[in-house]
Chain A
Amino acid sequence: MNTKVISKINGPVVIAEGDADFAMHDMVKVGKQKLMGEVIKLDKKSATIQVYEDTSGMKIGEEVYGENEPLSLILGPGIIGNIYDGVQRPLNRIEEVLKTGYIGKGVEVSGIDLEKKWNFIPKVNIGDSIEYGSILGCVQETQAIENRILYPKKLNGKIIFVAEQGEYKVTDTIAKVQMENGKIVEINMYQKWPVRTPRPYKTRLRANIPLLTGQRVIDSLFPIAKGGTATIPGGFGTGKTVTQHQLAKWCDADIIVYIGCGERGNEMTQVLEDFPKLTDPRSGRPLMERTVLIANTSNMPVAAREASIYTGITIAEYYRDMGYNVAIMADSTSRWAEALREISGRLEEMPAEEGFPSYLPSRLSEFYGRAGRVETFNGDIGSVSIIGAVSPQGSDFSEPVTQNTRRFVHVFWGLDRDLAYSRHYPSINWIISYSEYSNELAEWFDENINEDFSNVKNQITKLLNEEDELQKIAKVVGKDVLSDLKKLVLEICKCIRVGFLQQNSFNEIDTSVPLEKQFKMMDLIVFMYNESLELIEKGIPLSEIKKLGFFERYLKLKYEINNKEIQKFDSVKHEFENEFKKLENEYEGHIE
C-alpha cells in the first residue's frame, strides 16, 4: 500500500513521513477519517499535505493513503444546476448522506450522478477518423444546454463502435476507438481532469465581441469582451456581491460558473432561491439551467477555498471546449488569496507583502491567464470570461491583492463607498474605472448598434470628467459662482448619473437593459446638452431651459419606456427638439 504516517498536525496542514512515493499535488486520504488532502510540498522523507476538511481528532501515527493522481474533477453531463463545495462534492448529496443541515467530514460523493441515464445521440459513424476534441455525440444536459461528448485522448484514431441513440449512464461505453498505436479504447461520457492543469485549445482568438450584461455603466462605458478578464474591487457594503449577482443573472454567456469563495452562506442561499425562479431572457428557461455554483462559505475549510477557484475554472473550460461562452464570477478572490496566506503561514514560509506569500502574483496571473476566447479542437469557438471580485483590506485599493489583480486583468470596475452611501447603484466609479477593451470593441458597437455609438459614448465620458473637475471647484466656492455653461455641465451630468448610470436592480424594466436602449438614452442626453449649449450661447439663461422640465423628465424615462418600445425615445427626442425651438423663438422675439 502506498502509505505514509502522520508526524505533525497543525490545523489544515499535516506532515506525513514514510517511504511511500507521493508526487507533488497528488490527492491523498488522510487518517482514519479518510479526509481529502493534497500534497503541497515534498522532501526526501516527508510530505506536507493540505487537508480539505477539519482535522480535529486526528492522531500522530495515523496513515495517509496516496491516490496516485492529482486533484481532479469528474467532467460529464450532470454538472449544470449543481451546487458544489470547493472540491466538487455536490452539497445536496452531502445533505442526503449526512441527513443533517451541517457539513460533516470524510463524505465521499461523486461530482456527477453516475446512475442517472441520459439520452445519447451519436454524431459519428463507424470508420470515422477522429482526433482530440472531436464530437462523438451529445446529450441534452438541461433544456438550455446540450452537452457534447468530446474524444478525450491525445492520439488520433478510428471509430470501431458507436452506441445507438438511447438511454445510457455516464459510465456506459458509448464508443470504441482504435488509436494510431493500434490500441483500442472504450470511451464513456465522462472524463477526469486535474484542476491545476489548463485544458488545451487550438488557437487563441482576439477578444473583440462584448460580453453584454444589460448593465449600462458596464456595457456602454466600461465593456468587457467575451473571453476577457475584469475585476470588481470594493470595500464591504459597496455592492460587490449585488453587482456579481446582476452579472450572473443578465450577462449573455451560455453558461455561468459562480464561485462563492469564502463569502456568506446566506448569499449562496439567496442565489439558490432566486435563480430557479428567474428566467434567462434568451432561452426562456430558468437561470439555474445554465448555472453551476461552487460554494465554500467563509466558515468552511480553508484549504478547499484555495481549490475552489480551480474547480470553477476547470468546469468553465470543459464547457468552453464544447463551443460555449462561459462566464466565471469569483466572489471573492481576496478570500482565496487569504487562504493562500493562511496555508503559507502554517508552512512557515517567508512572507512577502502584508504576510501574503511571494507567489501570490504568479498564482493570480495563472488564474486570469486561463480566460480567453479560443478556437477549440473541433473548430468551434468558445470563451471563458473571468470576473473576479476583490475585497480590499480596509477598502484600500493599494493593498497587494487589488494591486496584483490589476496587473493581470483588462477591465477595472472600481466600486466607490461614497456612491454606495448615496444609494447610487451600481456604485462603479466612472473616474477610476477603465476598460482596455474599449478600442477593440468600439468597432463592434458601431457596426452592430449604431454608427454613432463610440462618438456618443466619448462625449458622455468627456462630460463626466469635466463634471468631476467642476465638482471639485464647486466644493470650495459653491455652485452659484459658476457660469451657465459650467452649470449646464453639472445639470447634464446629474442626468447622466441619476438617469443613466444609476440602475435599479429591483425594477423589472431597469434591472437589465438592451444595448439599443442604452444607446438611445445616451444619445438623448448628448442631444439635450448640445441643444441647451446652443441656447445658452445665444444668451438664453439656464434657468429658462430648466423650466422646460426636461432634466427631471429624463430621470424617469428609464422606467417609463419599456425595453421593447425603444422607438418611443425618438418621439421624446422630437418633442424636446420642438420645445427647445419654441423657447429659442420666444426668446428671439423677446429680444426684438
Chain B
Amino acid sequence: MANEVRKGIVTAVHGAKAGHPGGSLSAADIFTYLYFEEMNIDPKDPKKADRDRFVLSKGHTAPGLYSVLANRGYFPVADLPTLRHLGSYLQGHPCMQETPGVDMSSGSLGQGISAAVGMALAGKMDNKDYRVYTLLGDGEIQEGQVWEASMFAGHRKLDNLVVIVDNNGLQIDGKIDDVCSPYPIDKKFEAFNFHVINIDGNDFDQIRAAFKEARTTKGMPTAIIAKTVKGKGVSYMENNAGWHGKAPNDDEYKIAMDDLEKIAKELGGAN
C-alpha cells in the first residue's frame, strides 16, 4: 500500500505541476502505517467524535496526506491530480474545511504540533481515550514554537500524543546539519520529558514496533525519530534536496512511476 501512496504522491504533484514530493515520499511509509493500521478512524465518518487525530505539522507534504486519505477511501484517488488547481478541495497545504479527513489546517511550520497538543489536552480533560499523532519535518524543528509545544506536552504528561519527526536530513537550502543543525534530535526530546524511539522510518516492522511501544508508554508523550530517505522510491529524487518542492515533468513522471512499478513487482503485491 505504501507504494500505492507513493504513486498517488507523484501523480498529484505531477498533476499540480508543483508541490513537495521529497518529504511526502520519505514519510509515505509512516502515513500508510498510521492510516491503514494504527489509527482508529472511519473514512465514512471523518468527524467521528472519538476518532484518533492526525495533524500534518509539516503541511507542505500535503500530497502525502492526500494520497493516503484517498487510498484509504476518504475521497477518490482520481481527484489527486487536481492538487493545487483553482477550485480544488486539495489545497497546496492542508485545509480542514475543504478536505475530508484533514483534522487541522496547517502549513506554517511549527504550528501544527501546538494544535495536536491542544487535541491531546482536550482528550485528557474529557477522559477520552483517543490518540493524537503529529508529523514534523526535521527542518521544521528549527522553529521555536515546536519546543514551546514540546515543553508543554512533557509538562502535562500527554501520553496520548505521539510526535513523529521525519528525519530525511534535507531542507530547502541543503543538509539540515549544514543549514542549522537540530541534532541531536533524540536528546532534545528526551530533555523535554518525552519517551524517545529511534527507527528507520522506511522500515515497516520498525514503524509498527515503535507505535506499539508508544501505545504502552504511560506518563509521558512519545517522540519517534524516523530516519528516512527524502524522495524514497523514486530513483532520481532520493536524497536530493532539489526535489523538496519541485514537480516532475512528463518524462520524469514516467520514470518515477516505472520506479514505483518495479518496486511493486519486487514486493509481489505483498505490501
Q: Do A and B come from one complex?
A: no
Residues of B in contact with A (beta carbons under 8 Å apart): none
Residues of A in contact with B (beta carbons under 8 Å apart): none
